[in-house]
Structure 1
């Protein structure tokens, strides 16, 4: 599972080796805190998926890792099963939205002070 680190100026999403391989990524995701528009906690992250997978891997309702492209941009997903997740809406970044399953969603929102 991806680990999240909150710094005063940025949010870092550190992906595991397996997630990087499945997502065809070499680097972790770093987002400037000023570019985070909102963060939402969801119990069903699968309803937030939009667009088509390119590149990445999806096994419906089991695993979704990678980039999903849609008409207005692209999203990054690291979703595992039906676990609690955070949906991070972004502006002026490579991704329009980052969706991640995490056991620490309330702590993330508290540390971001949104």
Structure 2
């Protein structure tokens, strides 16, 4: 699971617990200017090539995945709690992270973009 922190100009994803080890990342920081959109839900698994990270089907997808020439960061155990954050001009093209309240997180990201 992850915790998302928003400031006036930055979106920071804090990867929590054992997922830090499985994702091989503890934190991702993205300038808010590179965030394009946020929505609840998305694919149930990343597909593509895992490098580096962990994928145990039906259990967890965590780390960096390369899908159709796109670099996507995943930290998801329960896809129903996932938020998909589309980026442009950042290290990643998309972030897919599990949070406690996906509706509230997606709404707060969209509000920060206005």
User: Does the alignment reach a TM-score above 0.5?
Assistant: yes
How many residues are treated as equivalent by the alignment? 111
Residues 1:70 and 1:82: Cα distance change in structure 2 (over 3 Å) = closer
Structure 2 unaligned residues grouped into runs of 5+: none
TM-score, normalization by structure 1: 0.85
Most deviating of 15-24 and 27-36: 15-24
Matched, 1:111 2:111: no
Rounded to whole Å, the distance in 2 between the matches of 1:5 and 1:45 is 23
Residue aligning to 2:8: 8
Residue aligning to 2:58: 61
Kindly indicate whether the alpha-carbon contact (under 8 Å) linking 1:45 and 1:99 is maintained by their aligned counterparts in 2: no
Moved over 4 A (4+): none
TM-score, normalization by structure 2: 0.85
Aligned-residue Cα RMSD (Å) equals 1.8
